[in-house]
Structure 1
C-alpha cells in the first residue's frame, strides 16, 4: 500500500507526539519530555549500540518499531528474528520520519514464507540484521552446524563505534530448552570473537547469565551491565516479558559507560541499549 501525502503527514504528526511524550535520550538516563527539543533524537549517538529481538511472528507496526529506535538513535543496531522486508521498512521510516540514515546488512538463515511472507517462489529472508550509521564492510554470515529446532547463525561486520573501528557480531542462539545446541553454537561464535582485540557482540542468547553454555563468552568479554556476571546472575536486569535476561551486549576492547533496558510494546523482548567507550 502506498500512502498519500496526507497520510504521511498524519503518521509524522503521531510519531512526533509520541516522541514528545518519551522525550530525548542523550545520555541514556536523562530522558524527559521538556529538557531538550525532539530534534535531538535526530542525531545518531556515535558510541551507542543496541540489541533487539523484534519478535516474529508478531502483528506489530514497523512505524512503531522505527519510533522506538529513533527515541534513542543508536550508532549500531542488531536485530534478531528479522525479516528483510520489515528491516527495509524500518530503515525507510527511520530516514523519512526521523531523519536518521542507516546502512543495513543482513544475516538471513532461512527463506521463510511462513515467517516473512512474499511470493511462494521468492519467500522473505529471516534471521539477523545490523543497521549502522557508519558504512559497514567485510560482512560474513555463518549458519551454525546444528541449529536445534530452527536454523540459527551469526553475522559480523566491521564498522565504527565511538570513533573506532570494531568488529560487530549479531547472533540468535537455539531455543530455551536446547542447551546442548547452544553450547556448540557459542563455541563457534567465541572462536571467531577471540580473533579480534576490539569486538561488540549483540544478540539473543536464549540463556540466563549463569548458564554453563555461556562460559566461553564470559571468558572473552564482559556484559554492559556491570552488576551482571555469572556469579551474580540474580543482580542482572531482565530483558524479556517473562522476566529473564536472554539479551546481551558483550564488549571486548570497550568499556561500558551506561546501559538501559527499555520494555517495548512491539516485542516480547526489551530493547537493550549501551553507551560504550573504546579503551
Structure 2
C-alpha cells in the first residue's frame, strides 16, 4: 500500500549546538503539540514564527511548507530563545510522478530548480532520534502525498498531509496501520482533509475544531497519552488555523 521510504537526515541549523539539548519529558509531564497547514504561497517564516512562539509547542507538524522554510523557521524561533530542531520532509515524487503536471506545479511555491522540496516539516524541542518520509502510492487524481515519522526517543510523531478527490480514505487507514505498529506512545498530526476521521483503532482524537473553510480537517490523534485540552486559535497568516493540544504522558 505504501511506496518507498526516503530516510531524511535531520538538519541541525547553525547555532543550535550552543544550546543544551532539551531532555525528554518525564512520564506524567505535559506535552504540547501543534499541527498547522501554513500555506506557503501566502506567507513566510517571519509570519509564522510569532504564532508558534506564542504557543511554545514542544512539537509542531507543518504542512504546505518548503524545506528551506522549515529550517529558516527554526532559526527564527531559536533567535526568540526556543531551541527547535528542524526536520524537513519534502514529498519528493518518483521521476515518473515528478513529470506529471499536478506534481510539476509544486515546484513554484518553493522556487525549486531541481527536485520538489515542497511538502512537510516538523519542529521539535525534544531530541530527535530518527526521521523518515514515506510516500503514499501515487494516484493521478491528486498530487503526491506522504507522511513523516519522527522518533523522539520513546515518543513517535507522525506528520501527514492527506489527499483530495477520494484519496484520503486509504491514506488514513495506512496511517492508522503505521500508528498501530509502534510499540510506544504515538501522536498523529496533520491536515487529513476529512472532517470525520472515523474509528482508527487505538488512536483518539483531541476533539473536532473548525480549522479552515473546509471545516475540521486538521487533526491531532493520540495513542498512549492523555488529552488535557485543545484549541484552534484564529490567525491571519494562513487559510488554516493551527490546532494546539495539551497532552500528558
> How does the TM-score come out when normalised to structure 2?
0.78
After TM superposition, the runs of 4+ consecutive aligned structure 1 residues lying more than 2 A away are: 110-113, 214-217
2:122 to 130, 138, 153: 130
How many residue pairs get aligned? The number is 208
Consecutive unaligned residues of structure 1, counting only runs of 5 or more, are 1-43, 226-235
Offset, 1:237: 2.4
Tell me whether 1:207 sits opposite 2:207 in the alignment: no
**Equivalence for 2:174:** 188
CA RMSD of aligned residues (A): 2.0
Offset, 1:54: 0.5
Tell me whether 1:220 sits opposite 2:202 in the alignment: yes
Q: What are the within-5 Å matches in structure 2 for residues 1-279 of structure 1?
A: 47-58=31-42, 60-96=43-79, 98-110=80-92, 112-118=106-112, 120=113, 122=114, 125-147=117-139, 148-159=141-152, 165-175=154-164, 178-179=165-166, 181-196=167-182, 197-209=184-196, 214-215=197-198, 217=200, 219-225=201-207, 236-240=208-212, 242=213, 244-278=215-249
Offset, 1:88: 1.7
Offset, 1:123: 5.0
Offset, 1:256: 0.5
Any conservation in 2 of the 1:190–1:216 contact (CA below 8 Å)?
no
> How does the TM-score come out when normalised to structure 1?
0.70
Q: What SS does the corresponding residue of 2:175 show, helix, strand or coil? A: helix
Q: What SS does the corresponding residue of 1:262 show, helix, strand or coil? A: coil
